[in-house]
Amino acid sequence: MTQYAQTQTTVSEYSELSILQRTDKRDIAYVVYGIVILLMVVCAYLMAIFGWLPHDPEEMQLELMLAGPGAPGHLLGTDFMGRDTLPRLILVIKAYFVPGLMYIAVAILLGGIFGILSGYYGNKYETVVTYITNIIDSFPRLILMLLVVAAFKPDIYYIMMVLGVTNAPLVSQLIKGKISMLRQKNFVESAIALGIPDARIIFKHILWFNCRSYLIIQATLGMGEAILLESALSYLGFGVQEPTPSWGNMVQQGANYLLQGQLWSSTIPAMAIMFTVLGFYLLGDGLNNMLEGKRQS
């Protein structure tokens, strides 16, 4: 009896390959690039916290206003008040880091609750959740942020909170889709039949074992988005206010001098935004293809 079973081939060729072998080379490159950016962000965060800055970010050198990269003593040049760009770029990370994490936490928590209610319990919850998410979705996000900033104060935490809430419908949709897909499979039903409590099925069997890579991907993509949206808001003048630097308001200040031929003080922070956001997006994308498998084309 057992002998017969052993002669069968049990392992598909696909699962014999390690995760690196079966991933597209391009995706690995994405992830590596993303991780490098992530490490740079973490380094910058540590530098900002412990004050290991290459230059005093507040010190003004009026004779060196709007200097380009490579100016003596200023690796990335200076801004319109002659302040060194590099330490200000680094300092910004401190302003982004915790609020960004908060944004992700709010989005995943709120979206997770909505997603679980509508995906696992369905029916009436689904209708209510759909109404709520539709209301959130139909309100222009930037206007809502402006409203909140106007009503309270232009604080990055308020902005990230609004971002988190407005991003919850997306996360909820994704989690709902995943859960209702898994709910169709009998392993959920058999877990219920075995007497495993609902909470354990949702959090352990569905979220932990089947959605964790997915949530990590969402968090990575969200981090990039947070930076992008805060920059847009700061550029409009509603984000982080002077004298606290943010990439958005640095671009905005530099932009005033673009027409006079002073390119660098605006493009350097803009490039910081681009490379960082790209890093997070590529990391999310690469991880997605690596862990979840590429969709068959």
For residue 19 the two structure tokens come to 């995760």
Residues that bind another protein (rule: CB under 8 A) add up to a total of 25
**Judged by CB, which is closer to another protein: 191, or 216?**
191
Q: Does the protein bind another protein through residue 124 (CB under 8 A)?
A: no
Taking the complex as a whole, the smallest distance from the CB of residue 17 to another protein amounts, in Å, to: 13
Q: Please name the residue ranges forming H helices in the chain.
A: 2-7, 13-16, 25-50, 85-116, 123-138, 141-151, 156-184, 186-193, 198-200, 209-236, 247-255, 264-287
The reply to whether 297 sits near another protein by the rule CB under 8 A is no
Q: What minimum distance in Å lies between the beta carbon of 297 and another protein?
A: 22
172-191 mask for another protein (x: CB under 8 A)? -------------xxx-xxx
Can you spell out the DSSP letters for 28-82? HHHHHHHHHHHHHHHHHHHHHHHT--SS-TT---GGGTT--TTBTTBTT-B-TT-
Q: Which of residues 2-61 bind another protein (CB under 8 A)?
A: 2, 4-5, 8-12, 15
Rg (CA), the chain: 24
What would the x/- binding string for another protein be over residues 188 to 227, using CB under 8 A? -xxxxxxxxx-------x---xx-----------------
Kindly state the smallest distance separating residue 5's Cβ from another protein, in Å. 6
For the beta carbon of residue 130, count every other beta carbon within 10 angstroms: 16
- The contact set with another protein (CB under 8 A) reads 1-2, 4-5, 8-12, 15, 185-187, 189-197, 205, 209-210
